[in-house]
Structure 1
Amino acid sequence: MSGHGYGCTYVLSNYVLNKEKRVTRGRDRGWVGQVAAACLAAMCAVAALPGQAWAAGEPHPYEFDSAVKPVEGAAVNSAGPTLNAGSAYKDSIKPGEKRYYRVNLDAETHAYISAVAVPGLDAKLAYADELEVTIEDRSGSRCGNDDARFGSGAYSRPVAAYADRTIDENSRTCQEAGPYFVLLERSGPDTSSQDPWDVEIRFASEPGLTQSAPTAAPENWPSASPAPPAGSPEKRHGGTSFNDATSIEQGEWQDEIAPGQTLFYRVPVDWGQQIFASADLGTSTVSRAPDGRGSGSNAMQLTLHNPARGYVGDGSSVYYDGKQESTALDPLPPVAYENRYGSGDAVEAMRFAGWYYLSVSLNPKVAEGFGEAALLLTLRVNIEGRAKGAPAYAGPAGDFEVTQDDRDAAGSGKSAPEAAKSDTMELVAAAGIGAGTVLVLGLGVWTLVARRRAAAGAADAAAGADAVMPGPGQYGPPPAR
């Protein structure tokens, strides 16, 4: 039961149970009125919960991790604040700025530091705007780095990348236990918006292995796109970020996307499985502006990130003129531990099982030609191949596995993180039950109060009648008491 519902129920029940000596009849009305007002307020709060959504068609802000911790990176590495594995952090970064953080790593665990750049909704961006993330050892050697780019789709939307420190017995750098440094660096032209970008930083760790694994990525794997998934399309509305991404599985999914909006979905992909995905942008009911305004090229972006939020790949740019358009991810290899030793970012990124994230962004310039109304979005997802056993991890795989709960979530459409979403839904449901309970108890209390008042009134009347009962021949009003 919700806090409000439980509180009202508790107060009402205590009112019933309290002895009459605690509350005189003269205070009943005010006290019960306060209870009723509090319960009404609680029920209004319950009713308001579902109404906190953003207006339809309005671009959603990025939903940061519910447990995100504020942090401020330093200008020099030795002064950077420490980031802990399994935690998420929020910072901001200005153009040309460097932000340093510290991580303490052992000599057995792989580390992944992801950074999600979140410019303001109205930020002006260019092809060269990017956020680079790097892990360095104490000697200043780079362990791994990547950059989150806006590229040809130069409009405001969340973009992400990660840097990794991988344990490799054949490497001589970045293998020791001790302090390492994470560097975020923002670059871009002076013509772009100079406002700070919010940044979500996440530190994920992958356990080492108890036995050796292959060190050569597969060279041959199925690359032919499968037939579209069978069955009728189902409705699923995407989230606003990695953190509230909507779970989907193999199938055809329909949604609506407004200009300037980015929608997130997550798909469980197990060891040995391949993911194929495409996105269709539906026709517009509005004719294009007479002067030709509106985004023709780079209208829609389909992007895939792996469980550590590392960039995997994206679909080709979509030219939109109001007619149906489609884009698809390039074929990707099956998930395999040894992909990390492959050539090419896309192959290396398919290195572990877990939730893979699909995001779809619609260029805000589409509104200039076709209005602010949301367009129909269709996602088609295929998961090919049988799931295989996990590598011999030395500890819990954490984010890098697919559990039965994950499969159940994908089938039901639970958003990430599962626990938070489930708790929220349980809270709303329990609050509804609590509100109903409050109403029933409230009616019971009012009935009981009314009966007590009636009984008390009758008793007073009887007592008064005995005290002033006129005698023989005595009539008229009773004497003053």
Structure 2
Amino acid sequence: MSTQAGATAGAGTGRRRRTAARTRKAAALLTAAAAVGTLTALPAWAAEGPPLPAYAFDPAGQRIEGAASSADADVLEPGRTYRDTLKKDGKVYYRLNLDTTKNSYVSAVAVPKPGGKAAYGDGFRIEIQDGSGVQCGYQEVNFATGEHVRPLAGYARRIVDPDESACQDAGTYYVLVERESDATSTPDDWELELQHVTEPLLRENGPDKLPESWPSGTPGPPAGEPQVRQGGDGFHTAVSLREGEWRADIRPGQTLFWRVPVDWGQQIFATAELGSSTAGDDSVSNALALGLDNPARGYVDLQTVSYSGDPATAALAPQRPVAHENRGSSETATSGMRFAGWYYLTATLSPEIAEEYGNEALPLILRVNVRGEKKDAPAYASDPGIFQVTGDDREAAASGAGADEADGGGALMVGLAAGGLGLGTVLLVGLGAWTLLARRAAR
């Protein structure tokens, strides 16, 4: 209550509310302590600085081991997330059991150890094959930002299309993930996060002709002052954004993740401005990278900018409005804007910044515009799942909820799974904390 009279009149209620608030705080602390185990400890980028936050893997991810031969491959189930390790020049297979009622997308996020050296073309290729080795769909992604590593995401797809002859039968398919590394690159293993998602078919064939013209002009900056919205440490914890101007801090070598709901007929525009620094004035090429990935974690765009101590801005290329007919394009960015849902923004600051400007965080201004009127979704035969924008999604974007919070992820259960604590142990600790708080409040 904001008035003294209200506070006095509601003293008993206020005491109970304060007790409840302390209880919630204690529960949050317990959850945070338990959840620490979900993040793999990583070394520091510089000796004088603390370690960077580790990539936040989905705690529900199941450990799996990619096979050297397709004959020995384990199955990736739809709607599931998996973890694996990819060695230098590694080539691994997974199995899919697919029908003819859904399109399938399998993504891989490769997470190298920080501080590693990479050549320009280092990266990986992911593809889906049928039982005869015919390629259904693939994507190749690489660092392309100098000699430093960062998380890389790409996807492969198998599309059910009556106008196509290959990859149309129900049955066994295979996912191949193949890493490419230069002889001079750091040979460390990469951790993999794999995800298999499906998209229902349309009840009837929709439009497939790509419009010749589309609004490619860049809008002006969003109105209002920047609000703090620090990014997450992975796709699973990507922080939700709506249109606006957002402020974050980013350290050399760090990658931050956000997500923006983009509906049918809408376009996303984004820029990332790195604030000035008086600590140096030498130029660092590819200092800041701004990336865009689609709801299935498929690569769409990546832009970089150099930095010499003055403000520097990386801007995504203008993208077509989200439309089903975009999938007919052979151009990667256009094809990537094929469905509605959460689009992911990533910002990576080169570790070379630390050599010239120190290991302290630099200010980052992220400007996001979502343009265009929402259009009707195509006539899906069933619930499109993640390939839509719901009212809850818009609320999450307005509130800044993390992906794990907005999607109902249980941080407490995350901590249990990764931290090695049994459910009974945590419940007992939690009950003890709540009892202690209640006794203190009573006194």
TM-score higher than 0.5 here?
yes
Deviation at 1:418, TM superposition (A): 3.1
Confirm or deny: 8 A CA contact 2:26 2:434 kept in the other structure. no
Q: Following superposition of structure 1 onto structure 2, how do residues 68-83 of structure 1 map, counting pairs within 5 Å?
A: 68-83=61-76
1:394 aligns with 2:381: yes
Q: Residues of 1 paired with 2:152 and 2:103: CA distance?
A: 23
Q: Following superposition of structure 1 onto structure 2, how do residues 374-389 of structure 1 map, counting pairs within 5 Å?
A: 374-389=361-376
- In our comparison, the structure showing a higher alpha carbon Rg is 1
1:310 to 283, 291, 298: 298
Report what 1:228 is aligned to: 221
3-state SS in 1 of match to 2:139: strand
Amino acid in the other structure paired with 1:184: V
Report what 1:19 is aligned to: none
Deviation at 1:195, TM superposition (A): 1.5
3-state SS in 1 of match to 2:306: coil
Q: Summarize deviations over 1:66-100 as a string: whole Å, max 9, x none.
A: 21000001111111000000001111111222100
Q: Following superposition of structure 1 onto structure 2, how do residues 155-170 of structure 1 map, counting pairs within 5 Å?
A: 155-170=148-163
2:436 to 438, 442, 448: 438
Cα distance change on mapping 1:434 and 1:273 into 2, 3 Å: farther
Report what 2:423 is aligned to: none
Report what 2:289 is aligned to: 301
Q: Can you give the 5+ residue segments of structure 1 that lack an aligned partner in the other structure?
A: 1-41, 448-481
Q: Can you give the 5+ residue segments of structure 2 that lack an aligned partner in the other structure?
A: 1-23, 416-426
3-state SS in 1 of match to 2:397: helix
3-state SS in 2 of match to 1:297: strand
More strand by share: 2
Cα distance change on mapping 1:287 and 1:154 into 2, 3 Å: closer
Q: Residues of 2 paired with 1:44 and 1:231: CA distance?
A: 35
Cα distance change on mapping 1:45 and 1:226 into 2, 3 Å: closer
Q: Following superposition of structure 1 onto structure 2, how do residues 27-176 of structure 1 map, counting pairs within 5 Å?
A: 47=29, 58-176=51-169
Cα distance change on mapping 1:84 and 1:370 into 2, 3 Å: same
Confirm or deny: 8 A CA contact 1:84 1:103 kept in the other structure. yes
Q: Following superposition of structure 1 onto structure 2, how do residues 271-282 of structure 1 map, counting pairs within 5 Å?
A: 271-282=264-275
Q: Residues of 2 paired with 1:418 and 1:43: CA distance?
A: 16
Confirm or deny: 8 A CA contact 2:225 2:245 kept in the other structure. yes
- TM-score, reference length from structure 1: 0.78
Q: Following superposition of structure 1 onto structure 2, how do residues 429-468 of structure 1 map, counting pairs within 5 Å?
A: 435=433, 438-441=436-439
Q: Residues of 2 paired with 1:286 and 1:256: CA distance?
A: 16
Stretch moving more, 385-394 or 435-444: 435-444
Amino acid in the other structure paired with 1:440: A
Q: Following superposition of structure 1 onto structure 2, how do residues 397-436 of structure 1 map, counting pairs within 5 Å?
A: 397-419=384-406, 423-424=410-411, 435=433
Confirm or deny: 8 A CA contact 2:86 2:179 kept in the other structure. yes
- TM-score, reference length from structure 2: 0.84
Q: Summarize deviations over 1:436-458 as a string: whole Å, max 9, x none.
A: 653333686xx9xxxxxxxxxxx
3-state SS in 2 of match to 1:301: strand
Q: Residues of 2 paired with 1:190 and 1:427: CA distance?
A: 38
Q: How many residues align?
A: 397
Cα distance change on mapping 1:50 and 1:104 into 2, 3 Å: closer
Question: CA RMSD of the aligned region, Å?
Answer: 2.7
Q: Residues of 2 paired with 1:43 and 1:336: CA distance?
A: 44
2:172 to 166, 179, 188: 179
1:365 aligns with 2:352: yes
Q: Residues of 1 paired with 2:28 and 2:392: CA distance?
A: 29
Deviation at 1:117, TM superposition (A): 0.7
Q: Percent identity?
A: 46
Q: Residues of 2 paired with 1:62 and 1:434: CA distance?
A: 32
